[in-house]
Amino acid sequence: MSQTPLLPNIVAGQAQSGQGAGTPLFDPVLGTELVRVSRDGLDVASAFRFAREQGGAALRALSYRERAGLLAAVVQVLQAKRDDYYAIATANSGTVTRDSAVDIDGGIFTLGQYAKWGEKLGDARALLDGGRIRLGKDEGFQAQHILTPTRGLALFINAFNFPSWGLWEKAAPALLSGVPVVVKPGTPTAWLTQRMVQDVVEAGVLPAGALSVICGSSHGLLDALEPFDVLSFTGSADTAALIRGHDAVAKRSVRVNIEADSLNSALLDPAATADSEAFKLFVNEVAREMTVKSGQKCTAIRRAFVPRALYQAAADAIGAKLAKTTVGNPRNEAVRMGALVSRAQFDSVREGLAQLLTEAQALYDGRSQALVDADPAVAACAQPVLLGTSDPVAARVLHDVEVFGPVATLMPYDSETQAYGLIRRGQGSLVASVYSADPAFTARAALELADSHGRVHAISPEVAQSQTGHGNVMPHSLHGGPGRAGGGEELGGLRALGFYHRRSAVQAHTGALDALAASATPLAF
């Protein structure tokens, strides 16, 4: 049998194949091998040097407006090849079209937003952070904080679940800031990231070295980082802990942003009834969040809280929605939910579910439904399972184990205060959603939950149509969360540029600060 193609890495502005047979990437539905990746033999240190010295210098020579133009050009390249990306996503991620769109179009949309926002920063080369502060008796001697692009590179070590969005949501603010990007995608789904970078580099719309992709092992990447580089990691808490302890971070002070796992919550208003609009919105969103991308979203609802009186009604209503979810081969039009990314993830979901079942029971179990057009012995297709416990206070595992698949746990609460306490037992999450027609309750819940969540998403009947979804990460809003979620911050409009800039205080005479201001612009959100 002939071997599948080895995807080249794209470094120093050109394709460079790794050595050896490489690691195979599979179709998670059919089980067939698709392509292989390798970075063996790649000179990482010189690839990084090229990115810093060539890519970084060329990007920094441009203004924000010019770099925003580069992002717009990248959007054009990607738009023209969307069909190819959908084909890769179907084959390598096993996603139905709607789920591929979240990743592919979500990534392109985010780039487009930063192109628009960057345009508004105009011809500046640096950003002003706040106003001038008088330092002494002499009015003329003042401090001005400024933000300048870091002279290092941005290394992204990404998770497997968003090979497109995971790249572009980080690359857009980095490139707009003038910082070159090297991405190491999660291996099981690296093909889409690799293809997109290859297309953009071949199109010649970015300076050489501005964008690179290294596929396969992450071994040695952190060793090659230098003090002015930044590292953005998305993945599991265990790998995050290794990264935090690496010399690059611990000794060379490489700035690091971590997006890790999260047990996100949904909270139904204590005043809701089974026929209220808030109840229906809650049910819809929980069922949707469980099934979009087969639950492989870091923001997906994992714990759903209802007033105790509505526990059974909510279980029945969510179960009825899940029962309509046909699972199987994404190429079959009858299928609503495709596969997990790999058989290894399938096993991991099964093991995680067994752990949760030590403290919960299945309220709806889709595992009895046959797969459509897929062989259960081969396909990494997991059916949705809604779990429940009547005693969430006594539970431990349910507040601690993130099952990265179509699984959530319904939990009843007895008082508003108890609900907030239970939600906080997630130890810091990316997002909590609140379902209520009462603005006062929503505001109270937002204040209670904001300190332990990067985002509070409130759904009321007025915004039923316009709300953007519990798990959808909009570039306008912060993405990240404290504690267990990694403590990171991404997006949030132009706030994201902060990670790729260095803040300094310039203490000088008014005349010098006036001259400085001529090439800087206020960072307005």
Cβ neighbour number for residue 297 with a 10 Å cutoff: 23
- 359 among known catalytic residues: no
Q: Which of 9, 93, 232, 234 binds ligand NAP (CB under 6 A)?
A: 234
- The distance of closest approach from Cβ of residue 176 to ligand NAP in the complex, given in angstroms and rounded to an integer, is 20
CA distances in angstroms from 6 to 136, 161, 213, 337, 399, listed in the order given: 64, 21, 14, 29, 42
Residues 362-421 close enough to bind ligand NAP by CB under 6 A: 402, 404
Measured from each CB, the residue nearest to ligand NAP is: 235
Per DSSP bridges, beta strands 9-11 and 14-16 are antiparallel
Per DSSP bridges, beta strands 501-509 and 361-365 are unpaired
Residues 480-499 close enough to bind ligand NAP by CB under 6 A: 485-486
- The distance of closest approach from Cβ of residue 444 to ligand NAP in the complex, given in angstroms and rounded to an integer, is 27
Rg of the chain on CA atoms, in Å: 24
- The distance of closest approach from Cβ of residue 348 to ligand NAP in the complex, given in angstroms and rounded to an integer, is 8
Our finding on whether 187 is near ligand NAP (CB under 6 A) is: yes
Q: How many helices (H) and strands (E) does the chain have?
A: 15, 23
Mark residues 275-314: x for contact with ligand NAP by CB under 6 A, - for none.
-----------------------x----------------
- 259 among known catalytic residues: yes
CA distances in angstroms from 210 to 138, 152, 174, 475, listed in the order given: 44, 11, 10, 22
Structure token pair of residue 63: 């203004």
| C-alpha to C-alpha distance for 377 and 244, rounded to whole angstroms | 39
| C-alpha to C-alpha distance for 103 and 87, rounded to whole angstroms | 13
Our finding on whether 160 is near ligand NAP (CB under 6 A) is: yes
Our finding on whether 259 is near ligand NAP (CB under 6 A) is: yes
Our finding on whether 158 is near ligand NAP (CB under 6 A) is: yes
Our finding on whether 186 is near ligand NAP (CB under 6 A) is: yes
Out of 215, 285, 298, 381, the active site residue is 298
Q: Which of 52, 184, 293, 501 binds ligand NAP (CB under 6 A)?
A: 184
- The distance of closest approach from Cβ of residue 402 to ligand NAP in the complex, given in angstroms and rounded to an integer, is 6
Out of 259, 285, 359, 402, the active site residue is 259
CA distances in angstroms from 492 to 114, 122, 137, 170, 475, listed in the order given: 11, 20, 38, 12, 6
Cβ neighbour number for residue 503 with a 10 Å cutoff: 11
Please identify, among the stretches 49-57, 105-113, 255-263, 414-422, the one whose residues bind ligand NAP according to the rule CB under 6 A.
Answer: 255-263
254, 234, 264, 251: which is closest to 486 by C-alpha?
A: 234
Residue position matching structure tokens 């037992």: 425
Q: Which of 63, 198, 239, 312 binds ligand NAP (CB under 6 A)?
A: 239
Residues that are catalytic: 259, 298
Binding site for ligand NAP (CB under 6 A): 157-161, 184, 186-187, 218, 234-236, 239, 242-243, 259-262, 298, 402, 404, 430, 485-486
